Amino acid sequence: MLKAILVSAFLGTALYSSYAQVPAPGKKQDKGILILNAVIHDGDGKRMDGAWLRAEGGKITAMGTGQPTEAQRQSCEITDAAGSHLYPGFILMNNSLGLAEIEAVRATLDVQETGADNPNAHSLIAYNTDSDVIPTLRLNGVLMAQICPRGGRISGTSSVVQLDAWNWEDAVVRERDGMHLNWPSRMTGSGWWAEPASAAEKNKEYAQQVSALELLFEEAAAYCSAANASMNPKLEAFRHVFSGKTRLYIHASQPVEIIHGLNLAEKFGIINPVLVSGSGVAEVAELLVRKNIPVVLNRLHDLPAQAEGPVFQASRIPQKLVRAGLTVALDYEGNMEIMGARNLGFVAGTTRAYGLSEEEALSLITRNPARILGIEKTCGTLSPGKDATFFLSRGNALEVKTQELTSAWIQGRRISLESKQTQLYEKFARMLQSGR
């Protein structure tokens, strides 16, 4: 009897543990991958029906329509996609994924340093590859992310990771891709989300805050040009921003704030500025085109900034900017941004109802983020020589009703699509089937 109790307890513990574990990273690719009869969306505007793709050593080696040759079939694990859709992995920009787990539990939060200016804060070393949220994003096609710090005037630097790794060293795709500057707001309010626009007041300290930013950049520029300056970690972080190796992400909301932010970047010769903004960009589109500024648009599934604005105001902006010739990407910044980021593909799909084609919508979360992040030579689209980071979906991956991932690979490794959510679904499905 005692033996039976101990065995039952052990099995119960093992079952609980199986639900509690994040899937282990995929095994290194030891033979070729060959996907047949797929609808390939390359992320660069092209769609190929009845197509195939071959990958080896973590890289795409060949692709085309029809059938591959016998030589191309050799030493491959063959997947007959039978009409399924093959997409490059979605790239999530401007998110604190892996830096926080449960917003209500302070011990799980590591998104912000103390103080206003933290240009040397390095978000990558705080990135948690064992986050329970990561598998839920992979199940919806998000296979890469830009991990960004939050808060203050200068939050720190972000890095790009792939979402299948034992630790942050394994995960990194591009380290310190950008520094994040939060431009001061011209308006102030209580901070309550339901506060009417009429309750906001002018920020009386705005001019002083802008002057303080200019002074900081002047100090950094002087430091970086000095021959024998004493080591200053905060100012040292600006060196790659001035050289163009690290991008400057300017987070600004209103048109005037955007203009002032871009003026500062131009004044100090910033080579690679990127604007991170919302609906305010529509009013300065001509300026952005003239300066050729890439844009990361904040969450489109959001209420309009003005009470009188149309509900889908934000969803119309991508089409306007794309038609103007700008490089545009989407993010999911805002309330509950980490767990909600799995909806990135559906946000992109919304733009199809407001003027963009399916392939243009896809490029907002594949090719364009790769270009902005500076990883376009290896990621973002499907073509020979690029990373074998892609997934198969039985239906259109930009539509809630049709998306159904069946397989996914990151750098040639087949990854698990299990998560706590899929495990719980299976658990209670079995309970219902047993009649309990």
User: What is the reported pLDDT for 194?
Assistant: 61
Confidence of residue 17 (pLDDT cuts 50, 70, 90): very low
Burial class of residue 231 (count of CB atoms within 10 Å of its CB; 0-12, 13-18, 19+): exposed
Query: Residue 6 has what pLDDT?
Result: 47
Asked if 90 and 381 touch (Cβ cutoff 8 Å), the reply is no
For residues 195 and 218, what is the distance between their CA atoms, to the nearest angstrom?
37
Confidence of residue 340 (pLDDT cuts 50, 70, 90): very high
DSSP string, 178-226: EEEEEPPPSEE----TT--GGG-EE-TTHHHHHHHHHHHHHHHHHHHH-
Provide the terminal-to-terminal Cα distance of the chain, rounded to the nearest Å: 26
73 vs 67, 96, 238, CA distance in Å?
10, 41, 50
CA–CA gap between residue 99 and residue 128 (Å, rounded): 6
Work out the average pLDDT over 259-264. 97
Given a cut of 80, whether residue 436 has pLDDT beyond it is no
198 close to 266: Cβ distance less than 8 angstroms: no
Q: Is 291 left (phi over 0), alpha (psi -120 to 50) or beta?
A: alpha
pLDDT of residue 355 exceeding 50:
yes
Question: Which residue type occupies 32?
Answer: G
Residue 9 pLDDT exceeds 50: no
Q: Which residues pair with 47 in a beta bridge?
A: 41
According to DSSP, the β-strands at 247-251 and 172-182 are: parallel
| 68: confidence class by pLDDT, cuts 50, 70, 90 | very high
Comparing 4-8, 71-75, 113-117, the range with the smallest average pLDDT is 4-8
Residue position matching structure tokens 């996914």:
408
- pLDDT averaged over every residue in the chain: 91
CATH class of 24-89+387-436: mainly beta
Please state the pTM of the whole predicted model.
0.92
415 vs 402: CA distance, rounded Å: 21
Quickly state the pLDDT bin for 318 (edges 50, 70, 90). Answer: very high
- Burial class, 273, CB count within 10 angstroms (exposed 0-12 / middle 13-18 / buried 19+): buried
Q: pLDDT tens digit string along 194-242?
A: 666 556 789 999 999 999 999 999 999 999 999 888 899 999 999 999 9
Q: Which CATH architecture has domain 90-193+201-379?
A: Alpha-Beta Barrel (3.20)
Confidence of residue 270 (pLDDT cuts 50, 70, 90): very high
DSSP calls for 98-164: TTBS-TT-GGGB----SSSB-TT-BGGGG--TT-TTHHHHHTTTEEEEEE---SSSEEEEEEEEES-
For the segment 147-163, what is each residue's pLDDT rounded down to a tens digit? 999 999 999 999 999 99
Per-residue pLDDT, 38: 97
**Do residues 311 and 297 touch, judged by C-beta distance below 8 A?**
no
Residue range 76-105: mean pLDDT, rounded: 94
Domain ranges for the chain, please list them.
Answer: 24-89+387-436, 90-193+201-379
pLDDT (tens digit per residue) in 271-311: 999 999 998 899 999 999 999 999 999 999 887 777 777 88
* pLDDT score of 304: 78
Give the pLDDT of residue 70: 93
Q: What is the pLDDT of residues 103-145, one digit of tens each?
A: 788 888 899 999 999 999 999 999 999 999 999 999 999 999 9
